[in-house]
Structure 1
Amino acid sequence: MQLSIVVPVLNEAAGIDAMLLRLATLRRDGAQLIVVDGGSEDGTAALAAPHADVVLSSPRGRALQMHAGALAASGDALLFLHADTVLPPRAGELIAQALRNRAWGRFDVALDADGPAYRMIAAMMNLRSRLTSIATGDQAIFMRRAFYEAAGGFPPQALMEDIAFCKRARRLARPACLRDRVVTSARRWEKNGVWRTVFLMWRLRLAYFLGADADTLAYRYGYRRKP
């Protein structure tokens, strides 16, 4: 099973070299690495080119970028990886093992910051995901390519695309919830404050559950101008 890794990026010049070099072992083992740039203004795409198999341009938005990467992928398994997320050791082997028995899955997550608040946030994310079969993009969602197509891919919305996809996916199959952890950046919690960010995400998720428009929620989150 060949793995295609899709990495959506936007203005990640400061860390893109190190991030992609961490994936070099997977590339040597046969994985395809696809970087999809959403209109970076800091040269991210040019920096990524020496370390990737494919570098694409796409309209801004993780959903649009990840879907563009999936369409360009040649592998029969897909891994959607955020640029600020680090895979655990043997990630390729873990994914291959999981996809022998399941159609899709995700990893547990840890945050790259010290302190009980960050450990509690990660623990709650993992528990919520395990109970609901809903994963966030921070958890490095992976799946068989055919399953991605059967589930309809990521919807073209500005926010909550991972939740929307997982809601459709879990109707088809339960995910493999791997306890091996990816480590993702705590920068949004550090920038805006831990509890302020937690409460904001709770409000946004509740609003989305109650039917709020994803583009409007993205404006509240700070992703784009108000529609």
Structure 2
Amino acid sequence: MKVSIIVPTWNEAANIEACIESALSCGAAEVVVSDGGSGDRTCEIVESLSDPRVRCIDAPPGRGVQLRAAAELATGEMLLFLHADNRLPTDALEQLRNAGWPVWGGFRQHIDADGWRYRSLEWGNAWRARARSNVFGDQAMFVRRDVYQQVGGFAAVSLMEDVMLSAELRKITPAMVLAGPVGVDARRWQQRGVVRQTLLNWRIQRAFSQGASPDDLRRIYDR
């Protein structure tokens, strides 16, 4: 099955080359970088790779908007959405193949930091994806193209696009969580603190479940 890997970016010059290398190393047929108006060298770095499997497109800012735009242009039968500060294991596509090309799901994570708090986060995130079929973007969400189109794809929003897509996909079938692990940059937890970042994530999810709009939640997250 042909796999397209889609990477949304905004000022990810420090991460994008390693991210793309991980996507190509595991055998992606194409990598579509969807840039939301970076002011750094993100797009320049992508273009400098000179690999026919890699291209960078311009999209309006907002992760859901960027993902949706790239998915419309991708040609793979399986779509895999990868954050720019994540790294796929070299056998990621082999795991998909060995699992029988599941309808949708994500991978277990390894957060690039030491300490029991990070291991607890990894366990909790895997449990959420497996038990509740709620897969977050930093778990390298994958979905068959036909099913992605069937549910209408990512909503054109700036936050919670992964939660919204998971809600539609689990109506069809539960998520499958593969072993991975996807390497995850620890920067957002290190910047805010593990407890503070986790509480913020919970606050945003609770507010969303009570009807808050993605734009309102984006403002809360950015603060």
Deviation at 1:112, TM superposition (A): 0.6
Residues 110-163 of structure 1: CA distance to partner in whole angstroms, max 9, x if unpaired?
211101111111111111211100100000001111011011101111111100
2:56 corresponds to 1:58 = no
Q: 1:185 and 1:168, CA in 2 relative to 1: closer, same or farther beyond 3 A? A: same
Aligned residue number for residue 187 of structure 1: 187
Superposed CA RMSD in Å reads 1.5
Structure 1: segments with no counterpart, 5+ residues: none
Residues 153-188 of structure 1: CA distance to partner in whole angstroms, max 9, x if unpaired?
011111111000000000011121112211111111
Q: 1:99 and 1:9, CA in 2 relative to 1: closer, same or farther beyond 3 A? A: farther
1: CA distance between counterparts of 2:161 and 2:114?
A: 29
Aligned residue number for residue 107 of structure 1: 107
2:36 corresponds to 1:38 = yes
Identity of aligned residues (%): 39
- Contact 1:6–1:81 at 8 Å: present in 2 too? yes
2:181 corresponds to 1:209 = no
Residues 2-52 of structure 1: CA distance to partner in whole angstroms, max 9, x if unpaired?
1111011110112222222233324xx461111111100002111111335
Q: 1:150 and 1:157, CA in 2 relative to 1: closer, same or farther beyond 3 A? A: same
Q: 1:122 and 1:30, CA in 2 relative to 1: closer, same or farther beyond 3 A? A: closer
Deviation at 1:99, TM superposition (A): 4.7
Aligned residue number for residue 133 of structure 1: 133
2: CA distance between counterparts of 1:161 and 1:2?
A: 24
| Secondary structure, aligned partner of 2:170 | helix
Q: 1:86 and 1:68, CA in 2 relative to 1: closer, same or farther beyond 3 A? A: same
Aligned residue number for residue 222 of structure 2: 222
The 5 Å alignment of 1:47-196 reads 47-51=45-49, 53-100=54-101, 102-196=102-196
Deviates more, 1:86-95 or 1:132-141: 86-95
1: CA distance between counterparts of 2:123 and 2:28?
A: 33
2: CA distance between counterparts of 1:30 and 1:10?
A: 22
TM-score (norm. length: structure 1): 0.92
- Contact 2:25–2:90 at 8 Å: present in 1 too? no
- Contact 2:4–2:30 at 8 Å: present in 1 too? yes
| Secondary structure, aligned partner of 2:107 | strand
